[in-house]
Structure 1
Amino acid sequence: MRHTIVMTGASRGIGRVAAERILCLSPEVHLLVVARGSSGPRLAGELAEGGHAVSHVAADLGSLRSVRSAAEQIRDRLERGGLPPLRGFVGNAGVQYTNALTEGPDGLESTFTVNVLANHLFVRLLEDRFVCPARIVITVSDTHFGDLTHNLGMVPGPVWRSPDVLARTGAFAKSDTAAGGRTAYSTSKLAAIYLVHEYARRLPVGIDVVAYNPGFVPGTDLARNAGPVSRFAMRRILPVMTLTPFATTSSAAGGHLADLVLGTTQAPTGSYVDRVRVARSSQESYDPQREGELWDAAERLTAAHAA
């Protein structure tokens, strides 16, 4: 049966690999890619080579108004029959800044907006359009563990605050530094796991939601906002680590993501998938009180665009 999967973060890195694999393995999929500006038509055209069904909508994930517009376009196309039934959403896009002071057009900190609120708004606006069985996959990160085992101390661990504080700039010590930006990143990924747990409680039966950890994947564009030395290290030096068990290649990580989206990798709703297997996320990531508080804050922060 033909069906639609909506995907953010498909233009490069693990997302691009995953998109190509999804289309190769499942010819019945219509992949709708969410991309910024003029990159959408080019990306859709490249992915469609070979006769695959691919379309696009434009969105700046740092703007909740833009996310709302994209979700409305998707809803409209689904309702008019311009897309086959919706059975998947992949929130793979993510950003990391060199500070925790970058503010988007909504007056909110940009890392939190892109990595947490944009996904939340998409899920909430598309929730009643899903046809079961459906699967939502949110890409997270093992930086949320905050220990040497998972990232060799390259990224500081999360520092949890009230969600209303996390959504604003300057939430962390030394927010004007790269360490502040990386703390914002790891904290946003902890928040994403919290929301996955809350979605599993609240979404209708038949809509499964899982968190996907690709592991440490050097060579991607996640560090595109970093300084030249860090960018050089990520692209030219750290990829050597993929020869060890500590790191994962973009090709492998993208393949794992595609397998999870398509259900080849089985995972119950609310679970955390570490590359190819269901695993436990950090002890800190299981906290129903924080999960409920974050849900309430995300609803409040996106309310102006969710009606």
Structure 2
Amino acid sequence: MRHSIALVTGATSGLGYAAARLLADGGWQEVIVTGRSLAKTKETDAQLADETKKRIFTPLELDLNSAASAKSAIAELVKRGRPIDFLLLNAGLVPTKKRVITAEGVEASQAPLIGHHELTVGLLKANLLGPEARIVIASAEPARGGVPMFKYTDLPAFAAKYYGGDQTAAAEALIRSGPNVKYSPNTAYADAKLMIAWWAEALARRLPSGMAVYAVSPGASNATNVARNAGPLLKYLMIPIVNLIPGMNQTPEVAASRYIEASEFGTDVSGQFFASAKGKFSGPMELQREPHLHVRASQEAAWHAVVKVSGADLSHPASLSAVS
């Protein structure tokens, strides 16, 4: 992979900001930083340039809650005409106690995946990803299961109970938090992160030869907005306790370094989900082998549900490989 142009979503704060700094330190020639507000993104650009003493940052407005914003961002990138070698889909949202549905009709914690899908598909269709491009999308440990208080929905069972076994319809219901979905912020968060892991593996089957995608959990970090949006139990009891336990938290730079590490992985592990070892939220990341992550029917259901909700499909253009 060339170390020429990288794009980081959600770069105005937290892990995205830390990742942009790490990319500058790693010798990247240009780092495109995105945020919902162009003014804030320009401010971030200037701050990063001042801190790193490098004039390699360029701002790009991108609101992942808005299909129109994604299209506008893609149009701007087409205008610039420079292929991206590393696409870091970092932006995320932690659900609040009360269910929030975006103007696009998507449950708030699922919205970043929809926006990231629109961006990725748009870049692929415009041939704006380099021939050996790497795509890293942020997931989290609850996707693999076994995290206290964060239980993901059993998609096949949910589909069998309410949708005649149609996992795509069931996945769409989770994305929209529609009928038959009993909302819980922790479950919504786990479902969103699992949907990302499935989406990544489905995308891997559709990428041109030479490109690769990985779902990566950055692990626990005090830079994320978990505390800001968490319910009282998490915000005032669990998170403060976890922050005091050695090895259960890490700096933004250490967390973001997982993204950079994954960007150097090979195509042999494209589509895979990498996270902390079982029972941990920091330290070396490992390829996750839990069976539910690797059910192809669930992966394809997630992909087709995202396509339906977003309206963005690869449509098998000549430059892209067919699904094997």
Calculate the TM-score normalised by the size of structure 2: 0.80
What is the aligned-residue identity percentage?
Answer: 24
1:31-73 deviations in whole A, cap 9, x for unaligned? 1111011311111111122023111111221222222222221
Q: Which residue does the alignment assign to 1:205? A: 209
Give 1:98-113 correspondences, 5 Å limit. Answer: 98-99=96-97, 101-113=99-111
Code of the aligned partner of 1:40: T
Cα distance change, pair 125–100 in 1 and its aligned pair in 2 (3 A):
farther
Q: Which residue does the alignment assign to 2:4? A: 3
Does 2:118 correspond to 1:117? no
Name the SS for the 1:270 alignment partner.
Answer: coil
Name the SS for the 2:176 alignment partner.
Answer: coil
Cα distance change, pair 306–197 in 1 and its aligned pair in 2 (3 A):
closer
Give 1:10-25 correspondences, 5 Å limit. Answer: 10-25=11-26
Are the equivalent residues in 2 in contact too, given 1:41–1:56 (CA < 8 A)? yes
Q: Which residue does the alignment assign to 2:280? A: none
Q: Which residue does the alignment assign to 2:306? A: 298
Does 2:54 correspond to 1:51? yes
Which of 274, 280, 295 aligns to 2:288? It is 280
Write the distance in 2 (CA, Å) between the matches of 1:305 and 1:203. Answer: 13
Cα distance change, pair 172–222 in 1 and its aligned pair in 2 (3 A):
farther
Which of 251, 256, 259 aligns to 1:257? It is 259
1:301 deviates by 1.7
User: RMSD between aligned alpha carbons?
Assistant: 2.6
1:222 deviates by 2.7
Which of 86, 89, 92 aligns to 2:87? It is 89
| More displaced stretch, 66-75 vs 138-147 | 66-75
Cα distance change, pair 156–303 in 1 and its aligned pair in 2 (3 A):
same
Are the equivalent residues in 2 in contact too, given 1:219–1:238 (CA < 8 A)? no
Code of the aligned partner of 1:297: A
Code of the aligned partner of 2:308: R
Cα distance change, pair 42–118 in 1 and its aligned pair in 2 (3 A):
same
Between Structure 1 and Structure 2, how many residues are aligned?
288
Calculate the TM-score normalised by the size of structure 1: 0.84
Code of the aligned partner of 1:23: A
Write the distance in 2 (CA, Å) between the matches of 1:52 and 1:259. Answer: 24
Q: Which residue does the alignment assign to 1:81? A: none
| More displaced stretch, 228-237 vs 32-41 | 228-237
Are the equivalent residues in 1 in contact too, given 2:8–2:89 (CA < 8 A)? yes
1:120-143 deviations in whole A, cap 9, x for unaligned? 111100012112111000111111
1:199-245 deviations in whole A, cap 9, x for unaligned? 1111101111111122233452233223566445577543222x23x
Code of the aligned partner of 1:204: P
Are the equivalent residues in 2 in contact too, given 1:18–1:258 (CA < 8 A)? yes
Write the distance in 2 (CA, Å) between the matches of 1:77 and 1:159. Answer: 43
Q: Which residue does the alignment assign to 1:195? A: 199
Q: Which residue does the alignment assign to 2:320? A: none
Are the equivalent residues in 2 in contact too, given 1:23–1:31 (CA < 8 A)? yes
| More displaced stretch, 49-58 vs 211-220 | 211-220
Cα distance change, pair 99–123 in 1 and its aligned pair in 2 (3 A):
same
Name the SS for the 1:70 alignment partner.
Answer: helix
Write the distance in 1 (CA, Å) between the matches of 2:287 and 2:149. Answer: 22
Give 1:48-87 correspondences, 5 Å limit. Answer: 48-49=49-50, 50-78=53-81, 84-87=82-85
Are the equivalent residues in 1 in contact too, given 2:117–2:312 (CA < 8 A)? no
Are the equivalent residues in 2 in contact too, given 1:220–1:234 (CA < 8 A)? no
Write the distance in 2 (CA, Å) between the matches of 1:93 and 1:70. Answer: 15
Give ranges in structure 2 of 5+ residues lacking alignment: 159-169, 277-283, 316-324
